[in-house]
Structure 1
Amino acid sequence: MSKKKIVLDAILQQGILPLFYHDVVDESVELVKTLYNAGVRVFEFTNRGDKAEVVFKALLSVRDQEMPGLYLGIGTIKNAKEASLFIDLGADFIVSPIVNPSVGKLVNEAGLLWVPGCMTPTEIYTAQEYDAALIKLFPANILGPGFMTAIKDLFKGQLFIPTGGVDIEINNLKSWFQSGVCAVGMGSKLIDPKQTEGLEERTVLALSLVSQARQNNKM
């Protein structure tokens, strides 16, 4: 099975993609260890600061030694230079806030999953043209579940994950899964790098609520 398919399946199984950026190596490592202990097996570190490369290297190193079965992706990748850098470092998948065809081409050539961010049907169509198996609806708090409901018949079979403003709250999660998404991205609503107390419990709760929301959607 290809790396692309393995990571995609892991995201679908988990139902939630936690993400954050933090520029302190030791604190970032502890954060990811906490997520791992709570049951997370796919995680996105975001390329939103000068220390992203250094921290990501450290996360990969500790993952290889202490967190078997964890897939580490890099987010906020906007151009091919950034994508190439993190692919060479060993990123398991690439997430973008935009649709940049050169990034899609590069990631696909590397045999990895590319998750571009889209806000319009035209962007979704463009992302599909460059083999985006999973598309990020971003920003989700602006688009809302109603957008997903409205466009899903236009793009039958396409997998979507909303990111930005998804709440750890059963009714919010139900509304997203009922609209047709396959998983949800969760950043600041789940993880505050400066306030880690209760993170493991919050993550366990989020995983549980996602599972519950999906079960209700199948009934």
Structure 2
Amino acid sequence: MSDQAFSWELFNKVPVIGIVRNVSLEDMIEILPAYQQAGLTTIEITMNTKGADEIIKYALQKFGGMLNVGAGTVCTKGDLEKALEAGAQFIVTPVIRKKIIRSCVKKEIPIFPGAFTPSEIYEAWSLGASMVKVFPAATLGADYIKDVKAPLNQVKLLPTGGIGLDNIESFKKAGADGFGVGSPLLNKDLIKDKNWVGLQEHFKKFVEKVRVGS
């Protein structure tokens, strides 16, 4: 586990978690180098993606040490076991599942559970979440992050859902500690057209907007 542990240093360089859902391993073989070369550092494969465990294994085999590779949409103990067996370095859930959070904390695996209200956010943090995924974030906008951060400034927040190039900077200014980005980052049209050069350029735009120090 030690040589394949989650790297906060890598994550903090460009605190974006690209969310991969329903993308084939064949396409991921092309996407991963473009992703890494664009400067992105952390990627999440959702467990409801066909062959998710194979994609996680492949990503770690080829990009271990260069990318943090984790599993998302982890809703059951079975999902968690399958993800960890594949080598997932961090776990993301859409909801608060106490058993899953506690299990990850015990194993020292970073866990980013999904929450929405201040009470849920604080509960997830109290259970030992490394960061709390605020989902769906765009529904309430960047000011919501700012408002939650006022009393809960110690809680690390990862807004996810509806975050794209047009609003990611406003979430950064509001105090977000990271960003979960799905289809606005993993552009379906570019993937469908197998336009890997275009996709890499698209990735770079996100890197430019959130790179720490920018």
What TM-score bracket applies, with the shorter chain setting the length?
0.7 to 0.9
Number of the residue aligned with 2:104: 107
Number of the residue aligned with 1:185: 180
Gap regions ≥5 residues in structure 1: none
Q: Deviations over 1:61-118 (max 9, x none)?
A: 3335xxx422101111112221122112211100111110101011111111000111
Distance 2:149 2:56 in 1: 34
Number of the residue aligned with 1:143: 140
Name the SS for the 2:169 alignment partner: helix
Query: What TM-score do you get using the length of structure 2 for normalisation?
Result: 0.87
Distance 1:11 1:137 in 2: 18
Name the SS for the 1:19 alignment partner: strand
Distance 2:4 2:85 in 1: 16
Number of the residue aligned with 1:34: 34
Identical amino acids, percent of aligned pairs: 25
Gap regions ≥5 residues in structure 2: none
Number of the residue aligned with 2:48: 48
Distance 2:141 2:107 in 1: 33
Distance 2:87 2:48 in 1: 18
Name the SS for the 2:70 alignment partner: strand
Distance 1:162 1:3 in 2: 29
Please say if residues 73 and 93 of structure 2, whose CA atoms lie closer than 8 Å, have aligned partners that are also in contact.
Answer: yes
1:15 and 2:23 are equivalent in the alignment: no
Please say if residues 4 and 112 of structure 1, whose CA atoms lie closer than 8 Å, have aligned partners that are also in contact.
Answer: no
Distance 1:88 1:175 in 2: 37
Distance 2:122 2:3 in 1: 24
Distance 1:126 1:3 in 2: 31
Name the SS for the 1:44 alignment partner: strand
Give the CA deviation at 1:185: 1.6
Instruction: Sort the Cα spacing of 1:28 and 1:88 in 2 relative to 1 into closer, same or farther, 3 A.
Output: same
Q: Deviations over 1:161-194 (max 9, x none)?
A: 111111113xx22211121101212110011242
More helix by share: 1
Name the SS for the 1:73 alignment partner: strand
Number of the residue aligned with 1:155: 152
Number of the residue aligned with 2:204: 204
Give the CA deviation at 1:8: 3.3
Instruction: Sort the Cα spacing of 1:5 and 1:127 in 2 relative to 1 into closer, same or farther, 3 A.
Output: farther
